[in-house]
Amino acid sequence: METLAELGYWGLFIGSFLASTILPMSADVLLIGALAIDGNVWLCVAIATVGNWLGGLTSYGIGWLGKWEWIEKWLKVKKEKLLRQKKNIDRYGVWLALFTWLPLVGDLFAIALGFYRIRPYTSTVYMLIGRLARFLLWTFLYFRYAEHFTQFISSF
């Protein structure tokens, strides 16, 4: 089986998508790896952003498809607890979408935003902005500290 690195840009896209779901992967590491093997900077950022964003939208969609009854039946969470959680989601609202890229809690934010149907269009745009900002930051850090990244990567 081919590794993500052998798939080139497609590997970056697939890995970034999967890293944005509940799978324990890091799209940041994939981006740095693609940059380290001389991938086109803007293409790498665009591919990682779009792949990661589409993965986040998948989590949002899963939340959107969820039903109160299912959560009560399968996860044994009472409706009262969900209503308390909704108050927290309503407090921060669509701004949570900017942070759906965060490890662990980001997936929960995306699912909750979808489940409670928090402004779909705005959530989608904010998810994209948050993820783009993240990858731009990593790209800046990579080029600012490229020799340190290269030494670190070559140590494996």
Per-residue pLDDT of the chain (156 residues; tens, 9 = 90+): 357 667 889 999 999 999 988 777 889 989 998 998 888 999 999 999 999 999 999 999 988 998 877 777 776 777 777 788 888 888 888 999 999 999 888 888 998 899 999 999 999 999 999 999 999 999 999 998 877 766 766 666
Would you say how long the chain is, in residues? 156
**All structural domains of the chain with their residue ranges:** 5-154
Q: How far apart are CA 97 and CA 147, in angstroms?
A: 33
pLDDT for the residue numbered 36: 86
Q: Write the burial class of residue 97 (CB in 10 Å: 0-12 exposed, 13-18 middle, 19+ buried).
A: buried
Q: pTM of the entire structure?
A: 0.84
- Residue 95 has what DSSP assignment? G
> Are 123 and 61 a contacting pair, CB within 8 Å?
no
pLDDT for the residue numbered 155: 67
Q: How far apart are CA 135 and CA 144, in angstroms?
A: 14
For residue 114, the tally of other CB atoms under 10 A from its CB is 22
pLDDT for the residue numbered 1: 32
Nearest Cα to Cα of residue 31 among 155, 123, 153, 156: 153
